[in-house]
Each structure stands twice: as C-alpha cells, then as structure tokens.
Chains A and B, each alone.
Chain A
Amino acid sequence: MGKYLLRRLAINVVLVAIAASLAYLLAATTMNPRAAYEGRQPPVAEHVIDATLDAYNLNDKTPVLERYATWVSGVVTGDFGKTWNGGSVNDEMGRRIWVSLRLLLIGTVLGFVIGVALGALSAIRQYRFTDRFVGVSSFAIMAIPVFLMATLLAIATYNVNRGLGFTLIEYTGEYNPRLSGWDQLLNRVNHLILPTISLTLGSVAFYSRIQRNMMLDVLGQDFVRTAMAKGLRRRTALTKHALRTALIPSATYFAFAFGTMFTGAIFTEKIFAWHGMGAWLVDSIHQNDVNSVAAVTFFTAICVLTAAFLSDVLVAALDPRVRVS
C-alpha cells in the first residue's frame, strides 16, 4: 500500500512538472509581455522596460532556457514569480483560490445532490411523466453551453431589475465593499444567486443522466430481486440496495468535480465578474502574463491529479469489491 502510494506520487510529481514546464515554455515563447509597456504614453525608455522585465523574469531578450531555469529555481522553493506588472503570483493565487471556492462550493454540492435525486427518481419512474420531464429538461439544459446560460441569466436579471426599478438580484461581482456586517453577508448571498443557478443547472442535468443510467443498470440486477424476495418493499429495496450501489459512479464524478473546484469556473467567473482562478486563466492570457499562465497550469495539474486520487479513494471507500483487504 505504502509502496503503491509512493509510486503514484512519484508519477504525479513528474506529470505536474512536465505539464507546468510545457505551459511555461509555450507561454514564454509565444507571449509578449513587453507589449504592455511599449504602447504606453508617455513612451517608456527601452532600458527601463528591459530592467522592469528583467526584474520580473519576463524579458524576451533573455534566452528562454535561462528564464526557464530562473523560473524553476523559484518554483522549487515555492515562489511562482511575478505577474506582468510586478505583483506576486503567489499572493494573487492565494486570493483567487478562495474566491473560486466561495463561488463554487454551493453550486457543486447542490448540483450533485439534486442531480442524483432526480436521476434516481427518473430511473424508478422510467418512461413515465417524471422521467420524461427530467429527461427532456436535462437535454435542453445540456444543449445550452455555460457561457450562453450565464449570459441569458444576466440579461434576464438585468431586465427584471430594470423593470422593477431597483436591483433585486445582483449580477456582477462578489460583494459590495461599502456594506458591512449582516448587510454585507446578505449582499454576498445575493451576488451568489445567479452564478450558483447557472452552475447548478448544468451539473443537475449531468448527474441526473449519469445517475439514471447507473440506477437502471442496477435495477435489473439480481440483488434487487433478492432484496424484494426477502420481503422488503420495492421502495425500500430500491433505496437501500439499488441506490446505495448505483451511487458509487456518481460519487466518483463528484469527488473529481470537488477536487477540480479550486481551478475555478472560467465562464461563470468571467461573465459574473468574480475574480477567481477561472477568470485569471483568461486574464493572464490577455495580459501576456507568462508566470501566471505557468502557475495556473501547475495548480490545475495538481488539482486534477488530486481529484483523480480523491475519486479513487472514494471508490475504494464506497465499494468493498475494490478495497484492498
């Protein structure tokens, strides 16, 4: 067991290193942070730009490999370097992770719970009205890409607010910094409503499809029949025996989603103007921010691998068949 974990850890470390390096090299060779300084009015002297860029390890006049070496020596000590305008990448990341988490936690959990419930229900009521309704709705929702859904929600809210003449539901930003205490908390909750809806709808649709399929697979199996042959009611047999078994695959997806939650939601964050990890990904590209790009990649790789590990652990915990005895 210990040996297995060590081997897996080693492989993962290598994967993360390669992924981050690839991203760094790609960004460092294709991006042009100089552009942000060159176009300034009044113009900045070239040697000043060079000095600034050198200080941030972003100077395209330095050979790529040299910059890479500097970057690596920083990363191994836990320092991801400077952003394009000299901020600390570490600080930026530390702040943004929590923004993403605050945004996503509720939606992720809610989406899973509602989705599983609806999926199980529609499997039990296969081909009846509930099933058809859930099925059609989830198909419709899955056909609407997140960015469209978020835009639609924002437009709708804008119109509602305008019609009412006051802001009923907030649709940009995380909170209003001018408020404090309970008001601020309420205001934060208000800001959460739209993004949470947009996130939840998608995952409800996703989980309900998965759970329905899994549940249908299990429903036809012998052990559900055995449970009823013992004298359990159909409903009890379904929840206690079928649902418990059919939950395993959805739960692993959930574990994965939970682990990657920290990497943010690109579209939701951008459209509702939350400055989380997802938005950073887009911003850093627009700003030619090489070190941030590399840091985001690094972080994403770690999250994905941790999430994969998490879901493996969860399978082992939920399913005695794969547990190591």
Chain B
Amino acid sequence: MRSKVVIGRLFRNRQARYGSIALILLVALAYIGPFLGSYDWTDKDFLAFLSPPSADHWWGTTTIGQDMYAVTLRGMQKSIIIGLLVALISTGLAAVVGAFAGYFGGWVDKFLMWGVDLLLVLPSFLIIAIISPRLRGATWLWFVVLLAAFAWMITSRVVRSMTLSLREREYVLAAVYMGIPRWKIIFRHIVPNLSSLLIIDATLNVSAAVIGEAALSFFGFGIQPPDVSLGTLIAEGSRNATGYPWLFAFPAGLLVLLVLSINLIGDGLRDALDPGSNS
C-alpha cells in the first residue's frame, strides 16, 4: 500500500520522472546496445585506427582499432554494476553498523564509532590507490569491496543518530516490554523505519560510486586493463581530446548522464518518501 503511494508520488515528481526515463534508457543502451552494433568490444579493426565516427564505426575507433561504441558500452556496463554493488554493500553495512551502535549504545557504540572515525580519518583515495593496482590479477570485485569499504561511514553515523531517537519510540519500547530479543527489534522495528533514509542513500551512493570508480580509474588506480570502465576510457580520451574528441566525448557524456539521472531519482525519492521534507 505504502509502496504504491510512494511510486505514485515519485512519478508525479518531474525530476524523478525524467531521471527514471533517462536511467532506463541508459541501462538499456548499455545492455541491449552491444547487440545492435556490428563489432564486439574485443574486436580490433586493423583497417581503422583512430577513425572518426562513421557509418561503420558509429562512435569512431580507438588507437588500437577497437570500436568505440562497443568499448564504451562495455565500460558503461562495468560502471553501472560497480555502482550498484558498491551502493548495496556500503548502505547495508552502514545500516547494520549504525543501527547496532545506536541501539546497543555503551561499549558496542564506542567501539563501532571508533572504527568509523578511523576510516574517516584515513585518506580513502590513497589507500585504495595503493591497494588496487596490486589486485591486478584478482577479480574486479575486490575493487568493489574496497570502494564500498570507504563509502559507508557518514551514513552509518546518520543511521546511528536516527536509531538513537527511534530507540525511545514507544513502539520500540512496546517490543522491549513484550520480551522480544534486541537483535530482532533492530531488524524488525528499527531498520525498516529507516528505509526511506537508506533507499535515498543507496541511490545517491550509486552515483557516488560511479564517480569514485571513474576518478580512481582516471589515474590508473581503478579498473585495470584490459578491462574497461567509463573512468579508464575518459582517462584515455582526455589525453588527446582536442585531436580525437570522440574518444573523450562519448564516455564523458554518458558518465554525466548516468550520474545526473541517478541523482534526479535520488532527489525525487527524497520527496516521495519523506513528506515532511521539502527538499
């Protein structure tokens, strides 16, 4: 019932509507698009190096003759997957850590928040940058874990402070007085009532992770070749963006559109889920 109301309100919100449409189109492009093109992203066309967009190579080709259309979409797939996974992991972690710290208080709280502080103090860019090139052989999932590990702390603090106030809510007290175990109360009464915050946060985390991945890859600290992501493509393209603009324009444009559409949805969700806020 409530979800229907929320979805209804989401689509009445113009920002969110445009955002969702754009996102659906982008995802479709990333996953269906490759079947429409005539080249695979691993193919190399030795007759066309650095050729501008044409009927054959829609978005032009790279220095080594890869089809830019295929490569870019492949990169976008990776960026989307990374964004989703990072958001899922980091928001989940934030919810659990924040809710436990807030609900149990005492030394559990002290210990967890201390960990949060430590992670906040560590320069995440630096740590990821040192570790990730060493993961060259390993799967890119490690990179996702690394990104997620540095993305949850602020949210968990917010979750914690909201839990502190939820803890005193009468329905939580009622559950305590019924004799329900505390961990069950957290998952039954606390986390669901933070769902608005968590959904919004997860959405915005997707775009943050997409940007984060791109930023790290920009310096070569992210996704490692031969694999590609929007970040690696932009890095490559920006080096000679003036001479061969198609190398830069397509990945950069898609990245901006992707982030923009997700942010629009996130902001629209905030309106739809939280009638009190005007944001």
Contact = CB atoms under 8 A, between A and B. Distances in A.
- A contacting B, Cβ–Cβ less than 8 Å: yes
Interface of A: 15-16, 18-19, 22-23, 26-27, 30-31, 126, 139-140, 142-148, 151-152, 155, 158-159, 209, 212-213, 216-217, 220, 263, 266-267, 270, 281-282, 285, 293, 296-297, 300-301, 304-305
Given A147-B218, A213-B279, A281 B134 contact: no
Contact of B126 (A18, A139, A209, A293): A293
Q: Which secondary structure dominates chain B's binding surface?
A: helix
Given A30-B130, A301-B122, 18 more contacts: A15-B117, A26-B131, A139-B264, A142-B263, A148-B214, A148-B234, A148-B255, A151-B234, A151-B248, A155-B241, A213-B279, A216-B278, A285-B126, A285-B130, A285-B221, A296-B126, A300-B123, A300-B126
B50 interface: no
A27 B126 CA distance: 10
Contacts of B158: none
Given A147-B215, A213-B277, A155 B123 contact: no
Q: Which secondary structure dominates chain A's binding surface?
A: helix
B120 interface: yes
The list of the 6 closest CB pairs from A to B, nearest first, reads: A143-B260, A216-B278, A213-B279, A143-B259, A301-B121, A300-B123
A287 B217 CA distance: 18
B126 A297 contact: yes
A148 B248 CA distance: 10
A26 B264 CA distance: 39
A165 to B, nearest CB: 16
Max chain A Cβ within 10 angstroms of own Cβ: one of B126, B241, B257: B126
Interface in B127-142: 127, 129-131, 134
Contacts of A266: 125
A250 to B, nearest CB: 14
A282 B129 contact: yes
Contacts of A155: 241-242
A71 B99 CA distance: 39
Contact of A143 (B15, B127, B241, B256): B256
B211 interface: yes
A220 B260 CA distance: 29
B247 to A, nearest CB: 12
B208 to A, nearest CB: 10
Interface in B35-74: none
Nearest to A278: B125
Nearest to A270: B219
B214 A16 contact: no
Nearest to B134: A30
Given A147-B218, A216-B278, A220-B278, A26 B121 contact: no
Contacts of A146: 215
Interface in B207-228: 207, 211, 214-215, 218-219, 221
A15 B121 contact: yes
Contacts of A217: 277-278
14 contacts: A26-B131, A27-B130, A139-B263, A142-B259, A143-B259, A147-B215, A148-B214, A151-B252, A152-B252, A213-B279, A216-B278, A217-B278, A263-B123, A301-B122
